[in-house]
Amino acid sequence: KESLEKWLNNTIEQLVGIATAGSSPGGEDPDFDGGRNTRGGGRVEEKRAVRAVATLSWIGKALAYRGDRVASPSLKIIINLLNTLITGSVHHSPHVTHAAAQGFGVIMADEGEWRFSDVYGVKVSKFYRQRIFLQNYTSLMTSVADDSKTIEERSAKRQSIIKTNALLALSHLMQHAPTTSVKPKLPKLIPHIMRALGSSSVSPTTNGDDSKIKTSLKISALFAVFKLLDKSMVHVDPYSDILIDSCLQYAQFRSRKEVRIVALKCLNVLANLPYHKLHRWKRQVLNNLAEVLDDPKRVVRKAARECRNTWYMLKGNLKG
């Protein structure tokens, strides 16, 4: 047992070293060019760093599941690293920063491709998601909300990368943390999450690294909002136009059927808003969902049919 713990600690130490290699503290990195730097094998170092962050995330997930005193120090090292890669003053490529943000999704999620198989007798420690959410909320939220950094301290592009990935990490935490832990934070979280969903610079069909990162943020934010929608309608109400528009976009997101289903279910729940907020959207929703009725996946067609029927039956008073 002691030799296994020693091996684990050595492995984590080596991976942390790889993940932070090539970082540049302080001012703007002279070689920073959006992750496409090729000086001195920079591209190779970047790929190694991304893989190291991904490996650390899965190790962190296993340690979080275990949840005992032996696992806690190593898990803390990994969580602190992910947090620092996203919010710290040390410069990393957008790919490494994005991998760190996705790392929170790996650690927190418990379904689909991010789930450990029950075949191997996996036992999950209680409350670990709540603990990770509360430990990281403040620093991530500070990075999202902080507009005080000057151009001399941090470039506009760097600031945008930090905010995008901090929001992505927060949306992963929101999506998987217990609702009782997230609900008190909603008044501060929802405006930023909705701003990410309403970003006009991002489209589900655009290409490029920046667009892919921001699209992954919008999808994660949509999942987080859907999970909390029933309990946060009062907070979502002012942003109903943004949310309906995003749901219509992602109801036809071809890459993942899960995204289309969540977008349709979210639209179905939004039909409970006051009618005067929905009236101007009714025709567009019905027309767009008519196309989704031909989706190749039966489960998506079923969700589209139910959602369209709900919107078709909407009637009410146009006065607010």
Structure confidence by residue, pLDDT tens digits, 76-88: 999 999 998 888 7
Q: Taking residues 25-32, what's their average pLDDT?
A: 44
The pLDDT value given to residue 42: 67
40 CB contacts (<8 Å, ≥6 apart)?
none
Asked if residues 217 and 42 have their Cβ atoms less than 8 Å apart, the reply is no
Residue 149, phi-psi category: left (phi > 0), alpha (psi -120 to 50), beta (remainder): beta
- Tokens describing residue 122: 């996996």
The pLDDT value given to residue 56: 94
Residue type, 229: L
Q: Is the pLDDT of residue 141 over 70?
A: yes
Q: Is the pLDDT of residue 165 over 50?
A: yes
105 CB contacts (<8 Å, ≥6 apart)?
114, 172, 175, 176, 220
Q: Is the pLDDT of residue 252 over 80?
A: yes
Among 6-15, 54-63, 80-89, the range scoring the smallest mean pLDDT is 80-89
Residue type, 318: L
pTM for the model stands at 0.83
The pLDDT value given to residue 214: 81
Angle (deg, nearest 10), helices 240-250 and 209-228 = 120
Q: Which residue has the higher pLDDT, 121 or 183?
A: 183
> With pLDDT > 90 as the criterion, what percentage of the chain qualifies?
47
pLDDT in tens, 206-228: 446 677 888 889 999 999 999 98
Among 1-5, 64-68, 238-242, 264-268, the range scoring the smallest mean pLDDT is 1-5
Asked if residues 210 and 246 have their Cβ atoms less than 8 Å apart, the reply is no
The pLDDT value given to residue 24: 55
240 CB contacts (<8 Å, ≥6 apart)?
270, 273, 277, 278
The sign one gets for the Cα dihedral 62, 88, 102, 109 is positive
Q: Is the pLDDT of residue 41 over 70?
A: no
Q: Taking residues 23-45, what's their average pLDDT?
A: 52
The pLDDT value given to residue 207: 44
The 10 Å Cβ neighbour count of residue 207 is 9
The pLDDT value given to residue 285: 96
Half-sphere exposure (Cβ direction) of 310: Cα atoms closer than 13 Å: 20
